Structure 1
Amino acid sequence: MTLRETKMERTRELIAEVALALFRERGYADTTVEQVAAAAEVGTRTVYRYYPTKESLVFGFYAKMLDTARRELRTHPDETPVPELLGAVLDSVVRSHQEKPEEMLAAFSLAQETPTVMAHLAHLLYTWRQDLVADIADRIGGRSVDLVAGLAVEQTATVFTLAFRKWAEDGGRADLRQLTSTTLKLLHSDAVPLPPLPH
């Protein structure tokens, strides 16, 4: 990463940190993009260059977490088994959440309170999952590759989503990694009912 890229990344992170702090302090509706820019000591146009909407400011750091998981996946050799790749993605997402637990709780709380923020989060996750499906499909090959990759990614994403939701409902006091592990073990067991195959 060049010096300019490093500076841009720091600016992006600073804006997201300042925005979330203001949203928590003043409330999402009562905080303007102009106030975020002033607190971050940048121009309003700079904020919009990194975050095109106010909603995207809430999950600025979260988008980076998701990108990190995909980047880490792509560092694995081509011969890496897909289950191992999915495990690496899951581990990356859990690790990132554990590094910023308070920010995660605050952002999730804002999303629950604000429909447009929740819609942005849903879109962010949908886009990430679609990109991840493409990454996994490239590794699999064979028949029904898109369906197989899609099921693999959706199951992996759902494992974390359910674990995170339980963690958030508990106020972040539970062990997120343990919750994720427990959920994954349930998926691998016969405890989860599935609809019957068509006749």
Structure 2
Amino acid sequence: MGLRERKKERTRESVSATAIRLFLDKGFDQVSITEIAQAAEVSRRTLFAYFPSKEDLVLHRFADHEGEAARIVRARPAGQPPLEALRAALLDALARRDPNTGLCDDPEVMAFLRMVFETESLAARLTRYTARGTDALTEALREAGLDPLDARLVAAQVIVVQRELAVMNQEFLADGATAEEHHPKAVRAAERAFDLLRDGLRRHG
């Protein structure tokens, strides 16, 4: 990355961090674009050049991870099934308390995720990011040898499972559990989810 690109990335991160700080302090719907631009010391035009909408100021953090599942499938060791690679990656992320798993009890992270899940416009826009993640994973699974229909259905289920597990983890932490206390239960839930993805619902039919 050249100097110009690094400067643009620093500006982008600074603007987003400023916006998120204001949103967490005052509420997403109570902060205007003008207020964000003034606090970040950029023009409205510059702000919109980086973030086409107010929601993108928040959700670009998810966009940076939208192709992660596809990258995991493509980078898996030879002979490892795609679902097992995704399972292993999730378990590793839980162990690291990755915020994207919901198993992170840092107060700012918890406030950020609560804002996303509880703000209607953010929750609605998040579906666009997850849809792109599904598209990317579908393509990676097709490259791995799955037929187009199976690849699409598996990708959609994986992305939904990851999202729901993260929401469940955050709900437990919001109820007062620490990440350390909840980690074993989060691992069991992840293992159960990927067992169901692997085996289907035959045992429940």
Same fold flag (TM > 0.5): yes
Q: For the residues of structure 2 that align with 1:138 and 1:22, how far apart are their CA atoms?
A: 43
**Given the alignment of the two structures, is residue 44 of structure 1 paired with residue 50 of structure 2, yes or no?**
no
Which consecutive residues of structure 2, in runs of 5 or more, have no partner in the other structure?
none
Moved more, 184-193 or 43-52: 184-193
Q: For the residues of structure 1 that align with 2:62 and 2:21, how far apart are their CA atoms?
A: 15
Structure 1 residues 89, 149: closer, same or farther in 2, change over 3 A? farther
Structure 1 residues 91, 185: closer, same or farther in 2, change over 3 A? closer
Picking from 100, 109, 112, the partner of 1:107 is 112
- Report the 3-state secondary structure (helix = DSSP H, G, I; strand = E; otherwise coil) of the residue aligned with 1:140: coil
1:24 deviates by 0.8
Moved more, 179-188 or 162-171: 179-188
Q: For the residues of structure 1 that align with 2:16 and 2:191, how far apart are their CA atoms?
A: 35
1:92 deviates by 7.6
Matches within 5 A, 1:124-139: 124-139=129-144
State how many pairs are aligned: 193
Measured against aligned partners, the alpha-carbon deviations of 1:149-174 in whole angstroms (never above 9, x if no partner) come to: 22332333233223211221122733
Q: For the residues of structure 2 that align with 1:100 and 1:14, how far apart are their CA atoms?
A: 24
1:88 deviates by 6.0
Picking from 120, 123, 139, the partner of 1:118 is 123
Q: Which runs of 4+ in 1 moved over 6 A?
A: 189-192
- Report the 3-state secondary structure (helix = DSSP H, G, I; strand = E; otherwise coil) of the residue aligned with 1:54: coil
**Given the alignment of the two structures, is residue 181 of structure 1 paired with residue 183 of structure 2, yes or no?**
no
Identity, in percent, stands at 27
Q: For the residues of structure 2 that align with 1:6 and 1:156, how far apart are their CA atoms?
A: 34
Which consecutive residues of structure 1, in runs of 5 or more, have no partner in the other structure?
none
Residue type of the alignment partner of 2:169: W
Q: Is this contact kept in 2: 1:69–1:93, CA < 8 A?
A: no
Matches within 5 A, 1:1-199: 1-68=1-68, 70-71=70-71, 73-76=73-76, 81-87=81-87, 90=90, 96-97=98-99, 101-141=106-146, 145-170=147-172, 171=174, 173-175=178-180, 178-187=184-193, 188=195, 193=201, 196=205
Q: Is this contact kept in 1: 2:55–2:121, CA < 8 A?
A: yes
